[in-house]
Amino acid sequence: MISGTGLDETDDDCETGTSGMRRIWICEDQLDDPVSMIEAASAAVSQSVSEKRTPIVLGGEHTVSIGTATALCEHYDDFGIVTLDAHADLRHEYEGNSFSHACTLRRIREDLQLPVAQIGVRSYSRQEAADIKENMWIVLTPWKLREDGEYDALLEALSLMPENIFLNIDLDVLDPSEAPGVGNPEPGGLGWYELLDVLYITAQEKNLLAADVVEFLPLENDRVTLRLAARLVEKLASVL
Ligand SMILES: [Mn+2]
C-alpha cells in the first residue's frame, strides 16, 4: 500500500537568486591559457568569500576548480575537497599539459596539499590506480558507493575529511544517459537521485564552503543536460 504521495518538495522550494545572499560566477574556458583561467576564477571566488558569500562556480573545464580551491586556501586553514567525478584526474600531465582536466586532482592534492575524497570514480589508468592504493587516498567507485544499498562507505569517507568542505561536481559523475552533454562521458555513472543523496548527505555531515559544477559541454539541442545542470545548481543553492 502506498502511503503519501512523495510530493514533499515543489519546484518553488528551490528558489535561487531572490535572497541576494548568493552570487554565481560563470567562468569562461580559456583552454589556451589555463593558468590565467585559474587566476581569474581564484580572484572571483576570493572576492566572493570576502563578501561573506558562498560561491558556486560553473564550468567548463575542470581545471577551473583549482582556482576555487586556491582562493579558499587564502581564507581557510583547514578544509578538504569532496569531488564527484567519473575520472581519477590524477595524471601528472596529459597530452603535454600539466593543467589538463585529467590532472586537476593531482594539482589539488600535490600543489595545494589538500585532503580529497573522490566519489564516483570509474575511469583511471593503471598508474592512477597504483597511486591511489599506495597513498591510501579516499576514492569511492560507484559500485562501492552502492554497497549493501546503504551509504556507509560515503559516511566513512566523509568522517575522514575535515569539517569544512569544497564540493566539486564534475557532471560526468552522472550516467551519460542522464547527462550526455559532458566532455568525457563514461558509462556506469550515478543516477540523479544518487547524486542528490551524496549532495544532501555531504551537506548534512559537513560545512560547505563552496561548490562548483564543471565539465558542462552540451550537445546540439541538448536540453536534457542543460536542464539537469540548472536543477543541480538550484539544489546546491538550497543547501549552501
Ligand atoms: Mn571527469
Task: Report pLDDT for 209.
Answer: 97
Give the tens place of pLDDT for each residue, 219-231.
999 999 999 999 9
CA of 148 to the centre of ligand 1 (A): 26
If you measure from the C-alpha of residue 96 to the centroid of ligand 1, how many angstroms do you get, rounded to a whole number? 18
- Cell triple for 173: 559523475
Residue 185 CA to ligand 1 centre (angstroms): 8
pLDDT at 186: 98
State the distance from the centre of ligand 1 to the C-alpha of 214, rounded, in angstroms.
9
What is the CA(3)–ligand 1 centre distance, in A?
Answer: 39
Tell me what pLDDT residue 175 has.
Answer: 98
C-alpha 184 to ligand 1 mean position (Å): 6
H/E element, 129: helix 126-135
What distance in Å separates the CA atoms of residue 45 and residue 68, rounded to the nearest whole number? 6
Spacing, Cα 63 to ligand 1 middle (Å): 11
pLDDT attached to residue 98: 85
Residue 151 phi/psi, 5° resolution?
Answer: -110, 35
Please give the full DSSP string across 139-176, using - where no structure is assigned.
EE-HHHHTGGGS-HHHHHHHHTS-SEEEEEEEGGGB-T
Q: Concatenate the DSSP letters of all residues of 177-225 into one string.
A: TT---BSS--SS-B-HHHHHHHHHHHHHHSEEEEEEEE-B-PPTT-HHH
CA of 221 to the centre of ligand 1 (A): 22
**For the chain, which residues make up each domain, given as ranges?**
22-239
Q: Distance, CA 179 to ligand 1 centroid (Å)?
A: 12
- Tens of pLDDT, residue by residue over 69-93, are 999 999 999 999 999 999 999 999 9
* Distance from the alpha carbon of residue 122 to the mean position of ligand 1, in angstroms: 10
- 87 alpha carbon – ligand 1 mean position (Å): 5
Rounded Cα–Cα distance for residues 121 and 38 (Å): 24
CA of residue 51 to ligand 1 center, whole Å: 30
Which CATH superfamily is 22-239 part of? Ureohydrolase domain (3.40.800.10)
One-letter amino acid of 41: A
pLDDT beneath 70: ranges in the chain: 1-3, 12-31
Q: Which residues surround ligand 1, an ion (CB under 5 A)?
A: 85-87, 170, 172
Query: Cell digits for 197?
Result: 543523496
Q: What spacing in Å lies between the alpha carbon of 187 and ligand 1's midpoint?
A: 12
Q: How remote is the CA of residue 58 from the centroid of ligand 1, in Å? A: 14
